[in-house]
């Protein structure tokens, strides 16, 4: 330790006693002298003590899973706008298949000494993931907030749309239009929002239709998120005779519409389709998409407030805050076609004999 103090003191051109006071974060050292010692630490390759690692007051990490789905840029834009009045700027980290992983982004953000991190639909929503990574961040301590997804036992604020209610709203809308064979298309069941949508769908179908519970498994298709996953799942359900489809995202709903048209079926004439998110441009698709709207603005603002309060030492209660979805009815849903009755043979009735007609020679 004496050798290190000596090297640092020589580099900074101060006494070893001054170096010791700076390293122990004690008062009585001029700001320029303190900065000279810290610079000497950096030049010599010594790691600064944890108490001297000042976080950048202006940076907040924002980790999103992708930008292909329009709902995630919408979250990013509103979070950035909500952060601006507080003096913080988001560092956007976008994951792509085969690209940088969430943990690698977190390491990069820690190197930049961000003041906190917002995770949107991250590994906290995956029940198969190890959630100790978040406990490690909180132990630093580093304020974090999670959007859409819940992991029990993590002392942090969670902000979610009520996915169970969203599925119930969609089913109730289709039932009101006369549909009974209603299918559900959503993503892999290891994700918390998917589990909640499935639970809401089953509850609404059991309450509002006469479909037996054991039949619901045949009306549920778990697929990959995205247009292609929605198209593949919808094709299978259409073959099973569904007349209405509840989809786990707007992109999956667009895939379902494509599957219907490939089979020369009309949307909404033959098949009604409900999406989820109400992401930008869904009002301008063909047909305009009926969907369940996530209250993105309210959720994003709540997440920013919770994070900034955490940073400023006024933590919010560590619980999940559920926001209510809203059904937005457009042109992709319509009254179900009446079932075609089986052809009936008319009973024979007595009639006068038909006069024979002369056959020309």
The answer, yes or no, to whether residue 50 has pLDDT greater than 70, is no
Q: How far is CA 299 from the centre of its chain?
A: 11
pLDDT at 165: 98
At 160-173, the pLDDT tens digits run: 999 999 999 999 99
Which range (27-31, 65-69, 99-103, 181-185) has the least confidence? Answer: 27-31
Q: Strands 290-293 and 320-323, how do they pair?
A: unpaired
Q: What is the pLDDT of residue 33?
A: 87
Q: What is the pTM of this model?
A: 0.78
pLDDT tier for residue 357 given thresholds of 50, 70 and 90 = very low
CA dist 330 and 278 (Å) reads 11
Tell me the Ramachandran region of residue 149: left when phi exceeds 0, alpha when psi lies from -120 to 50, beta otherwise. left
Vertex 157, ends 162 and 149: CA angle to 5°?
Answer: 40
**In sequence order, what are the beta bridge partners of 245?**
183, 273
What's the pLDDT score for residue 1?
Answer: 45
Question: H helices then E strands: how many in the chain?
Answer: 11, 12
Strands (E), the chain: 59-64, 89-94, 117-120, 144-147, 158-161, 182-186, 220-222, 244-247, 272-277, 290-293, 320-323, 326-328
Report residue 347's pLDDT band, with 50, 70 and 90 as the boundaries: very low
Please name the residue that has the structure tokens 């709902």.
71
- Could you read off the pLDDT of 290-327 as tens digits, one per residue? 999 999 999 999 999 999 999 988 888 889 999 999 99
What pLDDT is recorded for position 2?
Answer: 47
The pLDDT > 70 percentage for the chain reads 91
Helix extents (H) in 263-358: 296-311
Contacts with 267 (C-beta within 8 Å, 6 or more apart), sequence order: 257, 260, 261, 273, 287, 332
Cβ-contact 170, 198 below 8 angstroms: no
3-state DSSP call for residue 277?
strand
Q: What percent of the chain has pLDDT over 90?
A: 67
**How does residue 25 score in pLDDT terms, banded at 50, 70 and 90?**
confident
Average pLDDT in the chain: 89
| Structure confidence by residue, pLDDT tens digits, 74-86 | 999 999 999 988 8
Q: Could you identify the residue written with the tokens 């999940």?
A: 320
Nearest to 274 by CA among 331, 324, 335: 331
Helix (H) or strand (E) holding 207: helix 192-208
The answer to whether the beta carbons of residues 245 and 235 sit under 8 Å apart is no
* Digit-coded pLDDT (tens) for 224-233: 999 999 999 9
Strand-strand pairing, 326-328 and 290-293: antiparallel
Which pLDDT does position 5 carry in this prediction?
A: 82
């Amino acid at each position: 330790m004496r050798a290190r103090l000596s090297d640092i003191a020589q580099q900074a051109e101060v006494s070893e006693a001054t170096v010791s006071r700076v390293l122990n974060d004690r008062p009585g050292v001029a700001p320029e002298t303190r900065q000279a010692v810290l610079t000497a630490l950096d030049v010599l390759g010594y790691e600064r003590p944890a108490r001297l690692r000042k976080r950048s007051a202006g940076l907040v990490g924002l980790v999103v899973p992708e930008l292909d789905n329009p709902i995630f840029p919408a979250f990013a834009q509103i979070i950035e706008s909500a952060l601006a009045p507080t003096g913080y700027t988001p560092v956007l980290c976008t994951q792509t298949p085969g690209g940088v992983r969430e943990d690698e982004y977190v390491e990069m953000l820690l190197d930049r000494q961000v003041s906190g991190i917002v995770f949107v639909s991250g590994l906290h929503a995956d029940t198969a993931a190890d959630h100790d990574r978040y406990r490690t961040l909180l132990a630093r301590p580093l304020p974090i907030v999670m959007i859409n997804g819940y992991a029990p036992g993590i002392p942090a604020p969670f902000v979610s749309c009520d996915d169970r209610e969203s599925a119930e709203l969609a089913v109730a809308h289709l039932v009101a239009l006369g549909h009974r064979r209603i299918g559900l298309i959503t993503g892999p069941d290891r994700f918390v929002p998917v589990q909640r949508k499935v639970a809401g769908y089953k509850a609404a179908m059991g309450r509002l239709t006469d479909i037996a519970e054991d039949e619901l498994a045949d009306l549920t298709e778990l697929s990959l998120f995205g247009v292609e996953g929605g198209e593949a799942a919808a094709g299978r359900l259409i073959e099973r005779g569904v007349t209405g489809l509840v989809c786990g995202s707007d992109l999956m709903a667009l895939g379902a519409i494509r599957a219907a048209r490939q089979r020369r079926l009309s949307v909404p004439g033959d098949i009604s389709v409900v999406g989820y998110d109400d992401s930008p441009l869904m009002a301008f698709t063909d047909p305009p998409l009926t969907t369940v709207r996530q209250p993105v603005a309210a959720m994003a603002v709540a997440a920013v407030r919770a994070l900034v309060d955490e940073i400023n030492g006024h933590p919010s209660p560590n619980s999940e805050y559920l926001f209510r979805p809203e059904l937005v009815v457009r042109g992709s849903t319509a009254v179900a076609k009446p079932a075609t009755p089986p052809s009936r043979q008319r009973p024979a009735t007595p009639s006068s004999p038909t006069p024979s007609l002369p056959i020309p020679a």
